[in-house]
Chain A
Amino acid sequence: DIQMTQSPSSLSASVGDRVTITCRASQGIRNDLGWYQQKPGKAPKRLIYAASSLQSGVPSRFSGSGFGTEFTLTISSLQPEDFATYYCLQHNSHSLTFGQGTKVEI
């Protein structure tokens, strides 16, 4: 199985801050990675696919980068509605795996 190590598990930030979340794959996954945002009681919402492609309708302050084993989700200027939990997901192998999640708190 491909393991996804996501860090940090939580972070505290303020409105306007630049936030970076990292996912590391246990083996190369090309760019077969997506990022999701989840708010309490809601289904996850896809933000990024193919490691760096922005989902339609998602604000441009969200961006993704990386290839192979190292991936990053960046929020350039944190907004009040961005406080949520974020997950990465690899879909390179026959068994998909999520990162452990990063809770972004005020």
Chain B
Amino acid sequence: QVQLQESGPGLVKPSETLSLTCIVSGGSIWGSYWSWIRQPAGKGLEWIGRIYSSGTTNYNPSLKSRVTMSVDMSKSQFSLRLTSVTVADTAVYYCARGGLGGPPDPWGQGILVTVSS
């Protein structure tokens, strides 16, 4: 079955760019939507955006100006870039399959990203 694994730096400085990658295994990245979701400690879930295997994207309006997603079919992975980060962007970031036609499933285990100088 499809498995997802997030990777990237666990610490990012304020005003810099957060970059994460999600590696997809056990299935093809082609023909599906892929989402990023985050969760600050002790708080609820926030959908960041989704990307189709063709590269079509939809972003959360509240983050749209700072978010870019991309997909690399050859490496079976997709990526998230969030620019100009602040401490408010500190969260566990999850990647997941889906976001169109059905609620995302499965999810990766999540990666904690802390924004601090």
Contact B99 A91 (CB under 8 A): yes
* Cβ of A92 to closest chain B Cβ, rounded Å: 10
Contact A96 B35 (CB under 8 A): yes
Q: How far is the CA of A71 from the CA of B44 in the complex (A)?
A: 19
Q: How far is the CA of A96 from the CA of B37 in the complex (A)?
A: 10
Q: How far is the CA of A98 from the CA of B102 in the complex (A)?
A: 14
Across the interface, A43 reaches (CB within 8 A) one of B98, B100, B108, namely: B108
Which applies to chain B's interface (DSSP): helix, strand, loop or mixed? loop
Contact A49 B103 (CB under 8 A): yes
Which residues of the other chain, B, contact A1 by a CB distance below 8 angstroms?
61
Contact A43 B44 (CB under 8 A): no
Across the interface, A95 reaches (CB within 8 A) one of B58, B94, B101, namely: B58
Contact B58 A33 (CB under 8 A): no
Contact A44 B102 (CB under 8 A): no
* Cβ of A35 to closest chain B Cβ, rounded Å: 8
Which residues of the other chain, A, contact B59 by a CB distance below 8 angstroms?
95
A88-104 interface bits toward B, Cβ cutoff 8 Å, 1 = contact, 0 = none: 01010011111111000
Interface residues of A in 43-71 (CB under 8 A from B): 43-44, 46, 49-50, 55
* Cβ of B36 to closest chain A Cβ, rounded Å: 11
Contact B103 A34 (CB under 8 A): yes
Q: Which of B35, B45, B60, B104 has the most CB of A within 10 A?
A: B45
Contact A50 B102 (CB under 8 A): yes
Ranked nearest first, the 6 interchain pairs of A and B with the lowest CB-CB distance are A34-B103, A46-B105, A96-B47, A43-B107, A98-B45, A94-B58
